[in-house]
Amino acid sequence: MHARLKTNGRINMTKVASLTKRKSILTFVRMLGALLPVAMALHSAPAFAGDVCNNADLDGAYAYSVGGTAVNVPPLGPVAILGKVTVDGRGHFAGTVNGGIAGAFNLTDLPITGSYSIADDCTGSWTTNYPSITIQWSLVLVDDLDGRKHAELVETDLAGVSTGTVKPMFASAQNNQGN
């Protein structure tokens, strides 16, 4: 035992109880400090329960970006694509993109179309139809700061290894005005 817990050579139980109480309080405060950020994150995250997400969560003007590597469709190499798509909230989109593939192709105002499907658990599929190839994606919807959702994409076919995003171009109030 520590010398400060002894009085006249005997263990002072009052001091032991006080020290034990302080350690318990300190442990509680540490646990609270560790759990508070988790509780806050859970409170602000989507519920992922039934009827949380659907096709209507994507509606309006969106920035479409893709980055990755073409591995099975020539030309092989890095892919970088950026453009604007208009999503109809009913499972379809259309737009144009710019970018490059393996330094061999430059894409300028290339038209794209496609479809998407979103399940209640905020996962789904996205299909992009380029003029000469169709790319399949899995998606997850994520809440944006303004309460709207955007899609994070990962390619699921054998053409390449790519990720992408479909993010709102405007805040929700501007989007509702037809921008």
Residue range 9-28, pLDDT digits in tens: 676 666 656 666 666 655 55
Phi then psi for residue 144, to 5 deg, are -90, 170
Number of neighbouring beta carbons within 10 Å of residue 124: 22
Q: Which of 148 and 172 is assigned the larger pLDDT?
A: 148
pTM score above 0.85: no
Cβ atoms of 116 and 93 closer than 8 Å: yes
State whether the Cα torsion 127-154-174-56 is positive or negative: positive
**Residue 139 · residue 123 · CB < 8 Å:** yes
**Number of C-beta neighbours around residue 125 at 10 A:** 15
Q: What is the mean pLDDT of residues 165-174?
A: 80
- Give the distance, in angstroms, between the CA of residue 70 and the centroid of all CA atoms in the same chain: 23
Structure tokens at 119: 């399940």
Residues 40-70: pLDDT tens digits?
444 434 444 455 999 999 999 999 999 999 9
Tens-digit pLDDT profile for residues 109-136: 999 999 999 999 999 999 999 999 999 9
